[in-house]
């Protein structure tokens, strides 16, 4: 189903979809009902998705995929069918991978809430990207916590606006502080478990413990921008391994400057204590045998 998708134009897709109507696999009358009646098509679509998930061995529930593919009220039955042909496996794999960090239910709830239709009045604030259809005509994609309609937010998606927005919100979810804290908890359990082993001397354990102390410092001082700072610091060469005390002190000084530029809301004394503690831990870990 997914093979060589890039070789087909939009007209090719329509031609392939039209063949489904003329196929003699099903009774002609039943096919006509299935592809024209919304309720019948929902039943058919549910069955197709269930078989598809089993075929490609993707560990997502049928209901989740149905919500992802059918939550756009402006979509026609023909457009539903096209979704089965356009990178569906790749898209679902992305959501499957994310289940390591966030529950399917949470993603599903966000998908259900990210669509709004209005004619006038205020727009509710939402933590994630929102699609707003105004007067059944103009579609906007508002960034997280945005409540005003501006021309720059007018949204024109070439395939499906709900799926594209769902992918954008997936990124917002996995970049959130709660996910970072969840990863930190997992790292901590691994570090503690390895440290408690009697028979094994895992020599690079201090690297993990160093990284943990660094993340905890960032989540305390920069709770709303932890991941960006972490990414920048890691890209600049931080690999949790210091060869000298002076290199540790230099790193802490650089980090202090970054925290200041990010305008941390933490008290100066809190920042100072956190950095002193971090430097001490790095020195201690460095000298562990």
Band of residue 213 on the pLDDT scale cut at 50, 70, 90:
confident
Q: What is the pLDDT of residue 265?
A: 75
Report whether pLDDT(6) > 70: no
Q: Are 98 and 138 in contact (CB under 8 A)?
A: no
Cross-strand pairs, 138: 134
> What is the spatial distance between Cα 59 and Cα 280, in angstroms, rounded to a whole number?
44
For the stretch 217-250, pLDDT in tens is 878 877 777 777 777 766 665 555 566 777 777 7
**What does pLDDT average to over the chain?**
75
Which 3-state string (H, E, C) describes the chain? CCCCHHHCCHHHHHHHHHHHHHCCCCCHHHHHHHCCCHHHHHHHHHHHHHHHHHHHCCCCCHHHHHHHHHCCCCCCHHHHHHHCCCCHHHHHHHHHHHCCCCCHHHHHHHHHHCEEEECCCCCCCCCCCEEEEECCCEEEEECCCCCCCCHHHECCCCCCHHHHHHHHHHHHHHCCHHHHHHHHHHHHHHHHHHHCCCCCCCCCHHHHHHHHHHHHHHHHHCCCCHHHHHHHHHHCCCCCCCCCHHHHHHHHHHHHHHHHHCCCCCCHHHHHHHHHHHHHHHHHHHCCC
> What is the spatial distance between Cα 4 and Cα 240, in angstroms, rounded to a whole number?
43
> What is the spatial distance between Cα 275 and Cα 74, in angstroms, rounded to a whole number?
53
Q: What is the pLDDT of residue 73?
A: 79
Q: Which of 124, 150, 174 is the last residue of a domain?
A: 174
262 in the same domain as 165: no
Q: Are 134 and 140 in contact (CB under 8 A)?
A: yes
> What is the spatial distance between Cα 109 and Cα 102, in angstroms, rounded to a whole number?
12
115 in the same domain as 81: no
Q: Which of 102, 131, 165 is the last residue of a domain?
A: 102
Which of 203, 169, 209 is closest to 189 using CA atoms? 209
91 in the same domain as 125: no
Which of 98, 92, 86 is closest to 67 using CA atoms? 92
196 in the same domain as 253: yes
256 in the same domain as 197: yes
Sign of CA dihedral 125, 126, 129, 131: negative
185 in the same domain as 170: no
> What is the spatial distance between Cα 50 and Cα 199, in angstroms, rounded to a whole number?
47
270 in the same domain as 224: yes
Band of residue 3 on the pLDDT scale cut at 50, 70, 90:
very low
246 in the same domain as 190: yes
110 in the same domain as 98: no
Higher pLDDT, 104 or 77: 104
Instruction: Name the pTM for this structure.
Output: 0.63
Per the listing, tokens 């998705």 go with 49
Q: What is the pLDDT of residue 29?
A: 57
86 in the same domain as 20: yes
Residue 7 has which token pair? 């070789």
Q: Mean per-residue pLDDT for 21-32?
A: 52
Q: Which residues contact 190 (CB under 8 A, 6 or more apart)?
A: 208
- Domain with 159 in it: 106-174
Q: What is the pLDDT of residue 1?
A: 41
For the stretch 139-158, pLDDT in tens is 999 998 898 888 898 988 77
Q: For the CA atoms of 233, 238, 244, 248, what is the dihedral angle to 10 degrees?
A: 20
> How many domains, the chain?
3
């Amino acid at each position: 189903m997914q093979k060589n998708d890039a070789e087909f134009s939009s007209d090719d897709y329509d031609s392939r979809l039209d063949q489904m109507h003329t196929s003699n696999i099903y009774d002609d009358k039943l096919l006509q009902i299935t592809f024209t009646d919304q309720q019948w098509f929902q039943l058919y679509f549910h069955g197709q998705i269930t078989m598809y998930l089993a075929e490609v061995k993707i560990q997502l529930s049928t209901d989740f995929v149905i919500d992802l593919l059918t939550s756009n009220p402006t979509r026609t039955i023909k457009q539903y069918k096209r979704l089965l042909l356009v990178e569906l496996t790749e898209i679902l794999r992305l959501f499957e991978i994310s289940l390591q960090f966030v529950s399917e239910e949470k993603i599903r709830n966000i998908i259900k809430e990210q669509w709004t239709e209005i004619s006038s009045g205020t727009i509710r604030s939402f933590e994630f990207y929102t699609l707003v259809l105004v007067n059944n005509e103009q579609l906007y994609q508002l960034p997280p916590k945005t409540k005003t309609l501006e021309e720059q937010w007018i949204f024109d998606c070439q395939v499906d606006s709900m799926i594209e927005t769902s992918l954008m919100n997936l990124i917002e979810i996995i970049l959130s502080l709660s996910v970072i804290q969840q990863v930190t908890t997992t790292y901590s359990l691994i570090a503690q478990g390895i440290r408690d082993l009697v028979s094994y001397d895992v020599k690079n354990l201090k690297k993990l413990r160093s990284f943990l102390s660094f993340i905890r410092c960032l989540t305390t001082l920069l709770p709303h921008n932890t991941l960006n700072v972490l990414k920048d610091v890691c890209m600049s060469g931080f690999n949790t391994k210091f060869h000298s005390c002076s290199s540790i002190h230099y790193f802490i000084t650089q980090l202090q400057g970054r925290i200041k530029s990010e305008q941390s809301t933490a008290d100066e004394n809190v920042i100072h204590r956190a950095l002193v503690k971090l430097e001490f831990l790095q020195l201690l870990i460095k000298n562990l045998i």
